[in-house]
Amino acid sequence: MTELLRRIEEIVTPTVVGMGYELVRVAMSRGGTLQIMIEPADGRPMDVEDCATLSRALSAVLDVEDPISGAYTLEVSSPGIDRPLTREKDYARWAGHVARVETAQPIDGRRRFKGTLLGLENGTVRLRLDDGTEAHLPLSAVARAKLELTDALLDEHRHARDGAPGTPAH
């Protein structure tokens, strides 16, 4: 993460948290779009009005602090079903689902891994690969990670959205 993105995260986090949400990711595209990905802290599903409300609040905060020189477009969004894994707690929360992980440097001769997420232990992401072996990837080496869209993930999302008892919301 660049210094600019860290600064933006510092600026927006108090507003995001104060409004009852959690910050998932801050990213800047080459085209000049600042993406702020958020989700409700209480686990309820995100809707368009949530994004609009947060967009207005964050736009005002960013206008005052003015961390970005030049023009940019603000995009406030939810993580979606095939969400990125950006926080330590995401690796525990989404254990059992299929994930794609890309590392900054090769590990065991490769940078891209796909498998069932087994969680995070002592700073190491554990994945069960398709061949049945386990990959142990230091979290500090992970450049990108996201859930893979599967029927099981869609089912869990549907249950959470519909408020099925006993199903953890996210």
CATH number at residue 29: 3.30.300.70
- Please check whether residue 23 is in contact with residue 77, taking contact to mean a CB–CB distance below 8 angstroms: no
Domain boundary among 31, 53, 77: 77
Domain boundary among 15, 48, 77: 77
Domain boundary among 23, 53, 77: 77
Its pTM surpasses 0.75: yes
State which residues form the domain around 121.
88-162
Listed in sequence order, the residues at least 6 apart from 129 whose beta carbon sits closer than 8 Å to its beta carbon are 113, 114, 115, 135
| 48 and 101 together in one domain | no
- Please check whether residue 84 is in contact with residue 146, taking contact to mean a CB–CB distance below 8 angstroms: yes
| 62 and 123 together in one domain | no
Total domain count for the chain?
Answer: 2
Asked if the structure places residue 105 within a domain, the reply is yes
| 25 and 44 together in one domain | yes
Per residue of the chain (170 residues), give pLDDT as tens: 689 999 999 999 999 999 999 999 999 998 899 999 999 998 888 889 999 999 999 999 999 999 998 889 999 999 888 899 999 999 999 999 999 999 999 998 999 999 999 999 999 999 999 999 999 999 999 999 999 998 888 888 787 777 644 444 44
Query: Quick one: which of 166, 150, 141, 140 has its CA closest to 117?
Result: 150
